[in-house]
Chain A
Amino acid sequence: GAVVSQHPSRVICKSGTSVKIECRSLDFQATTMFWYRQFPKKSLMLMATSNEGSKATYEQGVEKDKFLINHASLTLSTLTVTSAHPEDSSFYICSASKARGYGYTFGSGTRLTVV
């Protein structure tokens, strides 16, 4: 149990366009999901906490207008990278948990390349 599906796994987009990444909890409901960003050979950096039915909570330094998060249901959170630029190229990973402070499961990640 506790499977998190992330889609797409890879995406290449042109500079200036927007890209949407989906994160789904397949066999459990998640009131909270998390979005991370990872640069090559670096650790995961928490970007924001996605809360079902309310606004996301962004970490300091993360542009909320650049990285739009929507958590419309208990099984789906989306991250939209708006007006993407090459510096937004990165590995984006989501995670979710059945309950607060309980084993967090990660998606398989999305490799975004902006050209």
Chain B
Amino acid sequence: GESVGLHLPTLSVQEGDNSIINCAYSNSASDYFIWYKQESGKGPQFIIDIRSNMDKRQGQRVTVLLNKTVKHLSLQIAATQPGDSAVYFCAEHLYNFNKFYFGSGTKLNVKP
């Protein structure tokens, strides 16, 4: 399988601060990337996605940046809230195989 890794296994931030979660992917042929949030005991929840022909995409309080040169993906969360506390996964999609491979996850702790 392909390898998708995360630089930081845990991240603690103060409520109101911005959070940045990083991810490295290994396959330059990946065409699509998704960030998911997973709360304890629940399935992953879609946050934001980005295609390989883009380098930035913004959602509500979240921004995903894609740097294909170094195969790096990041998720930025603005004004982090306690409800953002969860594990965040990045996933890369290999179009030819129609499969997603997930990174190891980063746990985000938001301190009130």
Contacts and interface: CB of A to CB of B under 8 A. Distances in A.
Interface of A: 6, 32, 34, 42-46, 49, 59-60, 91, 93, 95, 100-101, 103-109, 111
B41 A101 contact: no
B45 interface: yes
Nearest to B45: A106
Contacts of B34: 103-104
Contacts of B101: 46
B32 A106 contact: no
A60 B98 CA distance: 16
Contacts of B45: 106
Given A34-B99, A49-B99, A95-B100, 15 more contacts: A6-B43, A32-B98, A42-B105, A43-B105, A44-B102, A46-B101, A59-B1, A91-B41, A103-B34, A103-B46, A106-B44, A106-B46, A107-B43, A108-B43, A111-B41
Contact of A43 (B43, B95, B98, B104): B104
Interface size class of B (residues with CB under 8 A): 20 to 34
A103 B96 CA distance: 16
**A-side binding surface: helix, strand, loop or mixed?**
strand
A46 B99 contact: yes
Contacts, number: 55
Contacts of A105: 46
Interface string B65-99: 00000000000000000000000010001010011
Contact of A106 (B36, B41, B104, B105): B36
B42 A43 contact: no
Contacts of A32: 98
Nearest to B101: A46
B93 A108 contact: no
Contact of B89 (A44, A107, A109): A44
A49 B43 contact: no
A32 B95 CA distance: 13
Interface string B38-77: 0001111110010000000000000000000000000000
Given A49-B99, A101-B95, A44 B49 contact: no
